[in-house]
Amino acid sequence: MRIVENSSSRLRLRDRTLWISAVCFGTAVILAVGAALHPGQPGFLVSTALLILFVLAFLRATDVTFDKTTHVCDIRRLDVLRLKRMRFAFADIRDAQVEYASVDDATTLSCRLSLVTTSGKVPLSTAYEPDATRYDAMRDAVLETILAGRPRPTAVDPVRMLVEEGRIIDAVALLRQREKVNLATALTRVNALRDQLRA
């Protein structure tokens, strides 16, 4: 997800994985032609079918527009051939949060941005990306837009939030990435925080 516009009238965020679908679709067309030219080789058809599944899996796009004049947030999400729209008044948005998830090596964290509304948490994208600095900047831009004239919510330490949610591995990974400490130090600090929260 990226900021594509931040003007005096609106803030727009965009998330796209459509290019992956386009590449897979082009390859599927080439394989389908190969299957037509070589009807005795079923491998072409199997590969084509698998690529069509990938086309559908990555057919996702999200556009989020914060209209600064009407104080309304519009979310439009295409998710595997289904279009979903949501609309929130700025007054109904309490906070914007960067959510974290660890990847396989547990030392790299990926992020996504979510809105905290009066009706619950609304993720702005389905995918997580490994760029915490960009997501923190997006959060700041969103809060600056929606909270004009209102007090900003108290910043929550993401490590503390992950520990409260019981996501110890993600908390350790975030601490290691953020403060460049080794695994043992990060684990000791996270366990101490968990014990403190239980007390």
Q: Please give the Cα distance from 13 to 20 (Å, whole number).
A: 19
Q: What is the pLDDT of residue 106?
A: 54
Q: Please give the Cα distance from 102 to 170 (Å, whole number).
A: 5
The string over 131-143, giving b where at least 16 C-beta atoms fall within 10 Å of a residue's C-beta and e elsewhere, is ebebbeebbebbb
Q: Please give the Cα distance from 45 to 41 (Å, whole number).
A: 8
Q: What is the pLDDT of residue 32?
A: 75
pLDDT tens across the length of the chain (199 residues):
899 999 999 999 998 765 666 776 777 777 777 777 777 777 777 777 777 777 676 677 899 999 999 999 999 988 777 889 999 999 999 999 888 876 655 556 788 899 999 999 999 987 788 888 888 899 999 999 998 778 887 777 888 888 988 888 888 888 887 888 888 998 999 999 998 888 7
Strands 109-117 and 93-102 come out as antiparallel
Q: What is the pLDDT of residue 21?
A: 65
pTM: predicted TM-score of the whole model, two decimal places = 0.70
Q: What is the pLDDT of residue 153?
A: 79
Query: What tokens appear for 52 in the block?
Result: 């069509």
CA–chain centroid gap for 139, Å, is 12
Q: Please give the Cα distance from 90 to 145 (Å, whole number).
A: 9
